[in-house]
Amino acid sequence: MKKLENYSQLVGTSFHGDTIETTPNTLIKLSNSVEAEYFADNTGEDKTNFVFELLTNDGIPFSVYDWKQYRQLGFDEVVTFHIGTHTGSDSKSAVKALKQILNRK
């Protein structure tokens, strides 16, 4: 997993049906370990509370975000996060990379 170098790499990404279940804290720690950007506005007032922007080791840009929870999330609560990528196959690759990293922790 790598830090996304340029936000423009995420332009045009969308949800292709893939999700991952984990906690916000787990994703925050992952982002911090690779010095990646993440955005948190955990108020429940918007469609997302957390957005994580990452790059797989193969160079696939992706985002990880909660969607329409409309409530404040617990940092250690298991949440279903959506994966945003350019293509369905990129989405599958991002999920696979995330699961590999998260299962090591």
Distance CA 91, CA 83 (A): 6
68-86 confidence digits (pLDDT tens): 999 999 999 999 999 999 9
3-51 confidence digits (pLDDT tens): 998 989 999 999 999 999 999 999 999 999 999 989 999 999 999 999 9
Task: Check if CATH label 3.30.310 holds for domain 2-104.
Answer: yes
Tokens of 40: 């948190």
Stated pTM of the model = 0.94
Give the three-class secondary structure for 80: strand
39 CB neighbour count, 10 Å cutoff: 12
